[in-house]
Amino acid sequence: MKLFTAQAPNPFRVNAFLAEKNIVIPTTVINIMEGESRSADFLSKNTLGELPVLELDDGTYLCESMAICRYLEHLHPENPLLGETPLKQAQIEMWNRRMEQQIFNTVGAIGLHTFPFFADKIEQVPEYAASMGRLLNNKWKWLDDELDDGRTYICNDSFSVADITGMAALFVSEFADIAVPQQLKNVSRWISAVREHDVWG
Ligand SMILES: N[C@@H](CCC(=O)N[C@@H](CS)C(=O)NCC(=O)O)C(=O)O
């Protein structure tokens, strides 16, 4: 088994998942900025030219960060990050999708529409990025209200993949210098809690 990864938010999700579970697998780092992810060799592993990709021993390539995490959780069920009971699994799935759709994708849209790297990949619309910036502040406020019950992590009181997806949003925010509103005390508490996890690479 080999993981193709990169210094980027979706690869970070799998890297953090592995680190939190203390799993070590051989890794190859692909340089996205230098176009390695768009080379013919890499496109033969993932036709979308995106990371992460997990290569299995039989030559199968598994793409999509959450699919890779789910597969790794089955192989290494200790310290479950996707939940053990049907209810816990469903709650973590619910919160992971919320963190992805409400926060991570909103920050990501700002990056997509502003980073020069994406200029030849999509039609960048600066006004859309500005509008996503305003929306993002509302999304963080929504999360702050949700966390007002005092819980430590996004889904109940145990660290899960939903926290990792939120951390990936922080990864983008830091990289792109997009501020997380400081006055949100519950979000700040959550950020302090996840910073304690030694998974930032
Ligand atoms: N839905 C995919 C998204 C993967 C993705 O967008 N990866 C980005 C890095 S965050 C990438 O590899 N981009 C390379 C490129 O655009 O050339 C997942 O969850 O893994």
| pLDDT tens-digit readout, 142-169 | 999 999 999 999 998 899 999 999 999 9
Count other Cβ atoms within 10 Å, centred on residue 84.
Answer: 10
Q: Give domain 2-75's CATH number out of 3.40.30.10, 1.10.150.20, 3.40.50.300, 3.40.50.720.
A: 3.40.30.10
In three-state secondary structure terms, 108 is: helix
Residue among 51, 53, 65 to mutate when testing ligand 1 (max atoms within 8 A of CB):
51
> Quick one: 133 exposed, middle or buried, by C-beta within 10 A (0-12, 13-18, 19+)?
middle
The residue type at 141: K
- The pLDDT, as a whole number, for residue 156 is 87
pLDDT over 90 (residue 110):
yes
Q: Are 49 and 6 in contact (CB under 8 A)?
A: no
The residue type at 91: Q
Q: Are 110 and 180 in contact (CB under 8 A)?
A: no
pLDDT over 90 (residue 121):
no
Across the beta sheet with 27-29, the strand order is 27-29, 2-5, 53-55, 61-63
Domain boundaries, the chain: 2-75, 86-195
Q: Which atom of ligand 1 is nearest to the CA of 14?
A: 20
Q: Which atom of ligand 1 is nearest to the CA of 64?
A: 20
User: How far apart are alpha carbons 119 and 198 in whole angstroms?
Assistant: 34
Q: Are 169 and 104 in contact (CB under 8 A)?
A: yes
pLDDT tens-digit readout, 41-92: 999 999 999 999 999 999 999 999 999 999 999 999 999 999 999 999 999 9
- The pLDDT, as a whole number, for residue 201 is 81
Q: Which CATH architecture has domain 86-195?
A: Up-down Bundle (1.20)
Distance 50 CA to ligand 1 centre (A): 4
The encoded tokens of residue 102 equal 């409400």
Distance 93 CA to ligand 1 centre (A): 20
Q: What is the mean pLDDT of residues 10-24?
A: 98
**Whose alpha carbon is nearest atom 14 of ligand 1?**
50
- The pLDDT, as a whole number, for residue 39 is 97
pLDDT over 90 (residue 117):
no
> Quick one: 31 exposed, middle or buried, by C-beta within 10 A (0-12, 13-18, 19+)?
exposed
Distance 88 CA to ligand 1 centre (A): 28
Distance 5 CA to ligand 1 centre (A): 10
Mean per-residue pLDDT over the chain, rounded: 96
User: How far apart are alpha carbons 128 and 109 in whole angstroms?
Assistant: 8
Residues with beta carbon inside 6 Å of ligand 1?
6, 8-10, 32, 37-38, 49-52, 64-65
Residue among 10, 47, 48, 63 to mutate when testing ligand 1 (max atoms within 8 A of CB):
10
Residue among 29, 42, 50 to mutate when testing ligand 1 (max atoms within 8 A of CB):
50
Task: Please report, rounded to a whole number, the percentage of residues in the chain having pLDDT higher than 70.
Answer: 100
